[in-house]
Structure 1
Amino acid sequence: MSTIYGLSDIHGYYKEMLDSLSLVDLKSDQSNKLIFVGDYISRGPDSCAVLYHIKQLEQTYPGQVVVLSGNHDQMFLDWFFSDLENHWLAADIQLRTTKSFFEPSQWNIIYDKLVDLQGAPFKMSQLIKDELERKHGELIKWLLTKNKSFFYETDNQIYVHAGISEVDPELWKHATEESEFTWKYPAETGPFYKDIIAGHISSAEVAGDESYLGRVYWDQENHFFIDGDTPRSKTIPILKYETKTKTYSSFEKTVDGKWIEYRITELN
């Protein structure tokens, strides 16, 4: 019996990601899979470390780890590979994500150069790109390979960062615009012919219930929302799916910091 694990919206929270990944078993069964559903960077302090760890997992478990793209990942790549797009850098508050790619001493040198370029935003942007390319070129090339990885489909599920067009079950792959895969808002709920596992929008927001902060929300139909709003909850929920029993479960922490598994859907 193989297992599929899904998690999303890590947002640069490396320690929290490692804590959640401790619940994932890829070793005992090579048919087990781990689906990363996007938004690995921005907001948290360790975006660079998050990317390197996911890249290493993909290399260590070939065919078992799937890495999808989220809107924050797309914005970063749009900025990096465009001479005109500066939106991502402008949205990087206090350059927190950018700084995660450099040691403090390296960043101090770069920062002094940026100060000298004040008033020339495109030159400042290009300086940062050049330094990222020099230090992390292979990592960025790897991330670029995920640029069009918008969904992962199984016999019973669709994993996607934000959502899909659900107007016609037979035509969703053609009807969904690229921006919907990573930016769809608001969340859609209700019945669909496959289960849709998505991040992007906080599970608490979709549920309209703050008790779902840091937890998975199931709409009692075919939608599972797994964005735990990590910056607020400091928790990255894991959705676990058993392919034989077709049941979903997740985990929550006890007051003493231990993970306890709980079932979301019941056996048919």
Structure 2
Amino acid sequence: MKLIWCHSAVEFVDPVRPKARTKETPGMSHQPVTYAIGDIHGERTRLEDLHAKIFDHHRETFPQRELKLVHLGDYIDRGPDSAGVIALLMELEERTDIEVVNLRGNHEQMMLDAYGEEARDFRMHWLTNGGDATLESYIRRGDEDPPPSHLRWVRDLPTLHLDNDRKIAFVHAGVDPKTFPHSGEQIHMWTRSNRFFDPGRWDVGELKGWQVVHGHTPTKDSRPLVAGSPPRRFNLDTGAVYGGLLTAGIFAPEAETVDFIYS
């Protein structure tokens, strides 16, 4: 996939009405169009709004293509309806008309640890990092704690999704350029290493030629951060729970740019 710069920065799609960059034409590849969504943190209403914009954009722009949704993790904590976000994502996985990939972030891992064998050691750590809001969202639904079905679902989430055909890696926090694709779950969920943040240091080992799409580290201006020349690293955590935007990146085969949709 070729990407280009626009006026020394990545081009942004209007947040209300996404712009169609690549119209479907005869003979195009029928690889799916992937929409990757950054950190949600309990913002269910905004996630539903973003999904609606994505589905409208896809019907208008890529009517013959399959649609893939990749959620990059951190569905819970801090925001108003973490329980509702998990329920929504579980429902999406039941759909047969789209492909849905849900990744585990560090906040999901903190919740798992809080209900694991050593819960006493981890519960306060989770609650003081936004878990209190998650627990309140379950209490409002009539549950004292996250139900076993939700905990099982979170436990089974992968931490890395690879599009090997297009050489795009989707992950919550990042990867280790030296050990990719075997960086390990802790790095996938937690890393903020300079070695990962600088794509100029990626062209070693198996990461050479890959792009990485991630969240975890909020951008400073509520806009996605694109790093590298040509672009290699896409940070889609635009701080939705801190008053920023909830962002989806559009990764379409044959597109000359990566565009974005916002809620």
Normalized against structure 1, the TM-score is what? 0.71
* CA–CA separation in structure 2 for the residues paired with 1:98 and 1:173: 34
CA distance in 2, matches of 1:238, 1:94: 25
- Identity of matched residues, %: 23
Specify the alignment match of 1:263 in structure 2: none
User: Deviation of residue 178 (structure 1)?
Assistant: 2.3
What code does the residue aligned with 1:54 have? L
For the residues of structure 2 that align with 1:31 and 1:165, how far apart are their CA atoms? 31
Paired amino acid for 2:212: I
- How is 1:106-145 mapped onto 2 (pairs within 5 angstroms)? 106=142, 131-132=144-145, 136-145=147-156
- In the alignment of these two chains, the number of paired residues is 213
Equivalent AA in structure 2 for residue 38 of structure 1: G
**Which amino acid is 1:242 matched to?**
A
- 2:211 corresponds to: 195
Larger % of helix: which?
A: 1
Tell me: CA distance 1:4–1:96, structure 2 relative to 1, closer, same or farther (3 Å).
same
Name the residue aligned to 1:86.
Answer: 123
User: Take 2:64 and 2:156, find their aligned partners in 1: how far apart are those partners?
Assistant: 26
Counterpart of 1:183?
A: 190
Post-superposition, which runs of at least 4 consecutive aligned residues in structure 1 deviate over 6 A? none
Distance 1:79 1:243, change over 3 A: same
Query: Does the 8 Å contact 2:54/2:261 carry over to 1?
Result: no
Post-superposition shift, 1:71?
A: 0.3
Selected match of 2:68 from 19, 29, 33 = 33
Match of 2:233 among 187, 204, 223: 223
Give SS of 1:203's match.
Answer: coil
What stretches of structure 1 of length at least 5 have no aligned partner?
Answer: 108-130, 205-209, 254-268
Uncovered stretches (5+) of structure 2, i.e. residues with no partner: 1-29, 203-208
Q: Distance in 1 between matches of 2:127 and 2:41?
A: 17
Answering whether residue 53 of structure 2 is matched by residue 23 of structure 1, we say yes
User: How much has 1:63 moved relative to structure 2?
Assistant: 6.6
Which fold has the larger relative contact order, with Cα–Cα distance below 8 Å and residues 6 or more apart in sequence?
2
Would the aligned equivalents of 1:160 and 1:199 in 2 still touch at CA under 8 Å?
yes
Secondary structure of the residue that 1:55 maps to in structure 2? helix
Q: Give me the whole-angstrom Cα distance separating, in 2, the residues matched to 1:93 and 1:244.
A: 40
Structure 1 distance, partners of 2:130, 2:113, is: 18
**Per-residue deviation at 1:35?**
0.3
Distance, in Å, in 2 between the alignment partners of 1:162 and 1:29 is 32
Change (3 A) 1:145 1:23: same
TM-score normalised per structure 2: 0.73
Aligned-residue CA RMSD (Å): 2.4
> Is residue 2:254 matched to residue 1:244?
yes
Whole-Å separation in 2 of the counterparts to 1:203 and 1:21 = 21
